[in-house]
Amino acid sequence: MAQIRELKKRMVAVRTIQRITKTMQMIATAKFTAALARAKATRPYTDRIRGLVGEVAAAAGDDFSHPLMNAPASPAKRELVLVVTSDRGLCGAYNGNVLRKGALAIRELKADGKDVILETAGKKAVAYFRFAKVDVAEKHTFGDKPQFAQVEALAKRLMAEFSAGKYDAVHVVYMRFVSNSKQVPEVMQLLPLAAPAVTTAASGAANYEFSPSGPALLADLLPKSVVVSLFQAFNDAAVSEHVMRMVSMKAATDNAAGLGRTIRRNFNRARQARITTELTEIVSGAAALE
């Protein structure tokens, strides 16, 4: 009798968990759809800004110099790493993959003799590095829907500190969204701006005349490129978080359904066994009275 009561309680608990995970899956699906639309809307602008920077840089020539493209003249042997995670869990291996990538990047920089300044975006990164006893200089929270104004303020601060020679480089560790079935943890060098875009533009057939001059345009385009690159990284991270939570909650819902069927089968067997035992006792008692 005790076993049947216990199985009944487990069935109720599993059904409750199944309803919760199903609801979380539906919420994650809705958030993923909205986040994917935002990321797709900003991607063409981000790519075009980068392409335009390459075209203008190619026209400006090799003599062009800008603080955001050049490493400091006197290296500080100090680099900043910004690790982007989520504020909440239950999103599969999302946070684990990003944090492992970030920890590896920090170890490699320290092995090269660099002093690492760590900043985080997301509560999970804060908890992880607190447990690992790693000091966090700044903690940022942008939520599920990063706002451009917040990201722009962060990017401007990083550009100002880099231009002042406080850091030799700025790296962003985040989850890059490739497709619904593929998300890749990545370390992006935000500053100094890499110059491969120049070779991309040089291979193009178009020949432009710029007014104002190329250096004047680059002075305006380079900060915009940094801001939109960082904003795109946050958008990709948000999309990856929601899609991985959607997948993990679907798996949890399916597992709860399977466990519920197993418990229901065990419950039926226990109930049948109890009925059989009671019938046997009745028959045995009737036979003893004869």
- How crowded is the C-beta side of 48, counted as CA atoms within 13 Å? 5
Strand partners, 194: none
Using one digit for the tens of pLDDT, what is the confidence trace for 97-136?
Answer: 999 999 999 999 999 999 999 999 999 999 999 999 999 9
The answer to whether the CB of 87 falls within 8 A of the CB of 74 is no
The contacts of residue 97 (CB under 8 Å, 6+ apart) are 175, 185
Question: What fold is seen in the domain 26-247?
Answer: Pyruvate Kinase; Chain: A, domain 1 (3.40.1380)
Q: Give the span between the Cα atoms of 209 and 207, in whole angstroms.
A: 7
Using one digit for the tens of pLDDT, what is the confidence trace for 140-194?
Answer: 999 888 999 999 999 999 999 999 989 999 999 999 999 999 999 999 999 988 7
Note the pLDDT of residue 114.
92
CA separation, residue 165 to residues 68, 159, 193 (Å): 11, 10, 15
Q: Quote the DSSP letter at residue 180.
A: T
Q: Give the span between the Cα atoms of 225 and 84, in whole angstroms.
A: 19
For the record, the structure tokens of 64 come out as: 């062009």
Letter for the amino acid at 25? Answer: Q
**Predicted TM-score of the model (pTM):** 0.85
Letter for the amino acid at 201? Answer: A
For residue 76, what pLDDT band results from cuts at 50, 70 and 90? confident
Mean pLDDT of 271-286: 85
